[in-house]
Amino acid sequence: MCIKEVPDLDPEVELTIDREKAWIGIDENSRFMMNRFDEYAVEEAIRIKENHPDTWIDVVTVGTERAHMVLRRAMGMGADHGIHIVTSEVGYISPFTLSSWIAQMAGTRNYDLVLTGVMSEDTMQGQTGVMLAEHLKIPWATSVIKQEATNNSVVVEREIEGGFRDILELELPCLLTIQSGINQPRYPSLSKVLKAKKADLETIPADALGPEDDRLEVIEVDYPKKLREGRVLEGNQEDKARQLLDLFVEKAFI
Amino acid sequence: MLKKHLFNISVNLKMERIFILVEHFAGKIRAVSYELVGVANLLSSFQPAEIKAILLGENIENLAKEFSEKSDLETFAISVPGLETYNAGVYKEALLNLFKEFPFSFCLSSHSTQGLDFVPALAVKQGAGCITAVELIEEKDNDLIYKRSISGGKLITSLKNKAPSLFLTIQPGSFKSIENGTTFTAKVIQRVYSSTSSTVRNITTKSLNVDSSRLSEAKVIISVGRGIGDEEHLELIDQLAALFPKSAIAGSRPLCDLGWLEYKQQVGVTGATVSPDLYLACGISGTSQHVIGMKGSGLIVSINLDPNAAINNVSDICVVEDLKTFIPVLLEEHHKRRLL
């Protein structure tokens, strides 16, 4: 299980930019959560364990000291063990680097199945899972919306465009990137949360896993340009409602 | 002296190569493939390059001919016996085999469930850079800069590649298509590749028979996102939709995932692409995946509590309010008018 801590995109939290670091600004007001796509993947792993009780679930994350919270949340949901690859600085880490670090950790542990979210909500690249599979030299399927694992293989439905699904059978070991909607992730249970709070996490300093791959460089982060005027209506709710209704009448929508 | 001179010329004339991976499904070329040609033309205007297209599949010659006729590009038709539908492992193998013979500086594919499925693995194998969901390419200080959205479209990053070659997946609808009805003489290079990859077996492709015709016919679409909060508030959306004749209710992916709406009501990359006269986005954050499906709409109005929501960047009118309190006021104001 590979999961990631991402900045909360809730409307009450303003997203800032750290110009110097060319990355998303992090300050005392920043809030973090588990990447929602990863929640679906954690839930799917737990369901597999429920069907195959001899399953052991390791959950791994790469991040600064703070990121142990998402490991504990996953353990509160039902994962068995947390592995934290600890980075010293906040900032962009390329999928090449992330996947190579996780692959070095996973290399000797012989996992049967590796699950990741289809992408992260912050960088939205959708690359780390596939690159990890390539590093581990195992087959993969992305955008998985349904899976049935047996002892030797897994049959998956992967969502493709236009309301179609590819149905594939993969030999184990393999990697799946999980699409949202595959399940309804459970809330962590209180007893498991208490246990997870005290659990010893395995920590691996990222520095010990070799230098970052510097194929890509983020040179700037900015706010997007407006594609349309985006006129903000002024006044109280009644004023705004009246302006909107006037416009709908003028355009003959109502 | 002369020798040195000639050498310099040959260096200056060194041509780069750009590959376009043409995406096709059920015997049809996906329209975005012609947008990739536009991207390749743009890249070669910064650095002269020969542009070649690649199609893979079983009995692929006719599609390769069609693409070559419409794009005027020399096109590789790589026939792979048994490759009836897309398969990541086979695509990877066959392409690596071609790249050994034909090195490249850029390789372009669509930012789709297919492009994203195999391109990152190829990049690892090739020691190349890989940038996904590219929306804009610019030149800055003699370097090419690739722009893409992050954090649900609230921010945009500019990236630079430092590897010797680069894979790009291109966000559909971001670059101009070159298709304009002109046809050229086809230039198809036929190849056969026999695959040995067997760890992933395609069983079948099934259709969910998603009928989004109601959305494509609607003049007004009331679209709802996570900002609705609770399922019970969907009642407000029903009431709002009732104000408009020829309206339909749609939504963003999270609501379909929750089962509050049906998947046939989903607008965006994995749902429908719509262009009604009015698109009223209620509590929709506006991720790039959603915006792709609705940015061609006539008038776009957003109702969202978050003044910085990405949806506001594609909206004509923004109402920064909580839809749960604002829609009742809107309904009430409308009711008053009808009584006058």
CA of A129: which chain B residue's CA is closest?
B120
| Full-model pTM | 0.92
- The answer to whether A127 touches B128, Cβ cutoff 8 Å, is no
b/e code B42-62 from CB counts within 10 Å (16+ = b) = ebbeeeebebbbbbbbeebee
Q: For B239, list phi and psi in degrees, rounded to 5.
A: -65, -40
Mean pLDDT of A18-44: 92
pLDDT of the residue at A27: 84
What's the CATH class of domain B213-339?
alpha beta
Amino acid identity at A118: V
B16-192, superfamily in CATH?
HUPs (3.40.50.620)
Would you call B316 and A161 a contact, using CB atoms and an 8 Å cutoff?
no
Partner residue opposite A215 with nearest CB, options B148, B163, B199: B163
Q: Which two tokens stand for residue B179?
A: 């298709």
pLDDT of the residue at B1: 39
Q: Domain residue spans in chain B?
A: 16-192, 213-339
3-state secondary structure of B250: strand
Asked whether the bond before A173 is cis by omega within 30 degrees of 0, the reply is yes
Q: Which two tokens stand for residue B298?
A: 């006539």
- The answer to whether B225 touches B112, Cβ cutoff 8 Å, is no
Q: What is the pLDDT of residues A50-104, one digit of tens each?
A: 999 999 999 999 999 999 999 999 999 999 999 999 998 888 999 999 999 999 9
Which residue, among A220, A20, A24, A6, has the nearest Cα to B147 in the 3D structure? A220
ipTM of this complex = 0.94
Would you call B162 and A162 a contact, using CB atoms and an 8 Å cutoff?
no
Q: Is B286 exposed, middle or buried (0-12, 13-18, 19+ CB in 10 A)?
A: buried
Average pLDDT taken over every residue of chain A: 94
Q: Domain residue spans in chain A?
A: 2-209
3-state secondary structure of B277: coil
What's the CATH class of domain A2-209?
alpha beta
pLDDT of the residue at A155: 98
Question: Mutate which of A31, A32, A125 to disrupt the B interface (most B C-beta within 10 Å)?
Answer: A125
Q: What is the pLDDT of residues A91-149, one digit of tens each?
A: 899 999 999 999 999 988 999 999 999 999 999 999 999 999 999 999 999 999 999 99
Q: What is the pLDDT of residues B80-118, one digit of tens each?
A: 999 999 999 999 999 999 999 999 999 999 999 999 999
- The answer to whether A163 touches B210, Cβ cutoff 8 Å, is yes
pLDDT of the residue at B198: 78
Which residue, among A97, A92, A94, A69, has the nearest Cα to A82 in the 3D structure? A69
Q: Check residue A207 and report its DSSP letter.
A: G
CA of B124: which chain A residue's CA is closest?
A131
C-alpha span between B276 and B279 (Å, rounded): 6
Would you call B321 and A238 a contact, using CB atoms and an 8 Å cutoff?
no
